[in-house]
Chain A
């Protein structure tokens, strides 16, 4: 180890730079902001460098394939056989198009062409004669514009030249003469007037047309055959043939501020279990006009206030979903199942008090008591024998259901097992939004759908019996703490209190309940 290493501790460099900081210049943030603004706009995604195309081998493979394709196309273009030119095409090439175009342009100022008294009048006349012999003179005369005149004269030259081509005797001299006159036209572009050029062409045409005029006949019609297409050929490399300036369509620029921030509302689904306590708060009506058991009303030993219920263990399961409206507010709903147990303490009938006393608890365990009798009496059909909805387990047949008064000294404990389907709708307010550990208060309504109540494991009262309301409302309120370690998952613990807002039994029922439940809910949430 060298001297430096001996002197410096291992973490010297690390410690030195651990907390080192230096404020970057403001332009860095400005540039970052600019780039972020640019990235918010529409992106042009290149086909390379993205997704599966980002691999280097694929990139080079694509380039190679493109090169091969270009070579094949080029080879095909070069080797495409060109169709043999027709005589008309040959003549067309023999007469440079630029000369024709030039002559056409220059005829604009040659209105006096037909009336000009130049020495070439004779040749013009001769050309007209040739045209007239082919039947075109009448059309030429009708259209006296200089453009038409010059064009038709060129056509006449073509016709005459074709005639020459078909006449082997006149071909050599005629074609040579035509070339001479074409050269003369080229020379005359710089020095002579349009009139003299056209006259020279007409003159030469007339000179040689005369020799082949006999063979002309109807052969001139072939001169107007459709031109054959030219094969594709590559242009000269490096030569700029044409520049096309194109202006792209301008896209309307929208101010960045107008862009609405479309934040997706956060959704979550949750399952929870809530162990707690459930107390139906049972009482009996003081006025019992429909109570068939007159012994209760008249008995001095029975006391309705002695009927009471104690809360017992309950458990609720719930599956729900929620939506975060903004940072603080949320709406939640779901469906749940509540199984709530409770114990009702009620005076027993005196007849049974002595025989059904529990030795240990000093409580009567039979089902002939004020509470169960009241329940039975509350069933829509008071005729117990004709009450098929309720399972009375044969007690009704014992015949002593109302035979004895109730003894308040003999308290009977009757277990009740309520079952509800619950549909909560509640609103939440979060105090620490978007933090790992958040807290919220919840409040809302709970719809309790009564399923059944099993009394003493023998008497089953369902919603069809008319004792309990099929649907009753309760309030729900509580506080929830949610721990969210990841983006998707969170766990929550909530304390919930759910007092009923209305009686759980029907108005004409002898038994009145007002259930209340409370507990701690443990849940797992999945955030979308």
Chain B
């Protein structure tokens, strides 16, 4: 596997082949990150595209102070949040009761439960609380950090997370596989 240092140096030289190698190595994971934040597939592709252009243009600012994947992920998340902010999701948050708990069509067997099923659940969330849920439950940020990132009040972050959790709870509880506890984890394709 190609060394990260070599990849970064190649991108700094604007070597198109190395840029492609970087893309092929990380685009899969980062595309799922985009889809977690952006429901619309076309828009998620746009976010991924914008994020990679930013990555290539600002690769000089990467100083190997953290893993390359974490740096790339942070750029993708920031790009996605920027796209979400344009939609102003905080201004038209619908009531929880208005959102019908649409359960995705999942396979009956537990082992088949993979990230796609959960991704679909997350994508069904309203944009605002989807972002907060992603940042809190998956990326590991705390509420003050999320409030700063999204330019919202800390209380809003907490309430949005509670709301996301409530919606997911509704959906998951209707799935009998969750009645007894932790579901079998599926992995990526």
Chain A residues with CB under 8 Å of chain B are 2-5, 7-9, 12-17, 19-25, 27-29, 31-33, 35-36, 39-40, 261, 263, 434-436, 485-487
Q: Which of B31, B49, B52 contacts A22 (CB 8 A)?
A: B31
User: Which among A13, A20, A487 has the highest number of chain B CB atoms within 10 Å?
Assistant: A20
Q: Is the CB of A2 within 8 A of B64?
A: no
Interface contacts beyond A16-B186, A436-B3: sample of 13 additional A-B pairs, CB < 8 Å, sorted by A? A7-B180, A9-B182, A20-B29, A20-B187, A21-B31, A23-B31, A28-B49, A39-B57, A40-B14, A261-B14, A435-B3, A436-B5, A485-B64
Instruction: Give, as a whole number of angstroms, the nearest-CB distance from A263 to chain B.
Output: 7
- B36 sits at the interface (CB 8 A): yes
Q: Determine the residue in chain B with the shortest Cβ distance to A31.
A: B49
Q: Is the CB of A24 within 8 A of B188?
A: no
Question: Which residues of chain B have C-beta atoms less than 8 A from A9's C-beta?
Answer: 182
Among B1-30, those with CB < 8 Å from A are 3, 5-6, 9-10, 13-14, 16, 19-20, 23, 27-29
Question: Which residues of chain A have C-beta atoms less than 8 A from B119's C-beta?
Answer: 17, 20
Q: Determine the residue in chain B with the shortest Cβ distance to A6.
A: B181
Stretch of B87-95, B97-105, B143-151, B168-176 with 4 or more beta carbons under 8 angstroms from chain A: B168-176
Instruction: Report Cα–Cα, A436/B6, bound state, in Å.
Output: 9
Question: Which residues of chain B have C-beta atoms less than 8 A from A5's C-beta?
Answer: 165
Instruction: Give, as a whole number of angstroms, the nearest-CB distance from B180 to chain A.
Output: 8
Q: Determine the residue in chain B with the shortest Cβ distance to A33.
A: B16
Chain B contact patch, size range: 35 or more
- B163 sits at the interface (CB 8 A): no
Question: Which residues of chain A have C-beta atoms less than 8 A from B111's C-beta?
Answer: none
- B155 sits at the interface (CB 8 A): no
Q: Which of B20, B56, B182, B188 contacts A12 (CB 8 A)?
A: B182
Q: Determine the residue in chain A with the shortest Cβ distance to B5.
A: A436
Instruction: Report Cα–Cα, A28/B52, bound state, in Å.
Output: 10
Instruction: Report Cα–Cα, A39/B58, bound state, in Å.
Output: 13
30 CB contacts below 8 A, A to B, read A2-B169, A3-B169, A4-B173, A7-B182, A12-B182, A13-B138, A14-B137, A14-B138, A17-B32, A20-B32, A21-B28, A22-B31, A22-B35, A23-B28, A23-B31, A28-B31, A29-B23, A29-B27, A31-B49, A36-B14, A36-B19, A36-B53, A36-B56, A263-B13, A434-B9, A435-B5, A435-B6, A485-B64, A486-B63, A487-B63
Question: Which residues of chain A have C-beta atoms less than 8 A from B29's C-beta?
Answer: 19-21
Q: Determine the residue in chain A with the shortest Cβ distance to B51.
A: A32
Q: How many A-B Cβ pairs are below 8 Å?
A: 108
Known contacts A20-B187, A32-B23, A436-B5; is A25 also within 8 Å of B45 by CB? Answer: yes
Q: Is the CB of A17 within 8 A of B138?
A: yes
Known contacts A28-B48, A35-B49; is A8 also within 8 Å of B185 by CB? Answer: no
Instruction: Give, as a whole number of angstroms, the nearest-CB distance from B186 to chain A.
Output: 8
Question: Which residues of chain B have C-beta atoms less than 8 A from A28's C-beta?
Answer: 27, 31, 45, 48-49, 52
Instruction: Report Cα–Cα, A14/B185, bound state, in Å.
Output: 11
- B107 sits at the interface (CB 8 A): no
Known contacts A14-B140, A22-B188; is A29 also within 8 Å of B20 by CB? Answer: yes
Question: Which residues of chain A have C-beta atoms less than 8 A from B140's C-beta?
Answer: 14
Q: Determine the residue in chain A with the shortest Cβ distance to B35.
A: A22
Q: Determine the residue in chain A with the shortest Cβ distance to B10.
A: A434
A-B pairs with the 9 shortest C-beta distances? A21-B28, A20-B115, A4-B169, A24-B31, A20-B188, A20-B32, A7-B181, A434-B9, A13-B137
User: Which among B10, B31, B57, B172 has the highest number of chain A CB atoms within 10 Å?
Assistant: B31
Q: Is the CB of B173 within 8 A of A32?
A: no
Q: Is the CB of B27 within 8 A of A16?
A: no
Q: Is the CB of A13 within 8 A of B23?
A: no
Q: Is the CB of B178 within 8 A of A22?
A: no
Instruction: Give, as a whole number of angstroms, the nearest-CB distance from A44 to chain B.
Output: 16
Among B126-172, those with CB < 8 Å from A are 137-138, 140, 165, 168-169, 172
Instruction: Give, as a whole number of angstroms, the nearest-CB distance from A199 to chain B.
Output: 74
Instruction: Report Cα–Cα, A121/B105, bound state, in Å.
Output: 102
Question: Which residues of chain B have C-beta atoms less than 8 A from A486's C-beta?
Answer: 63-64
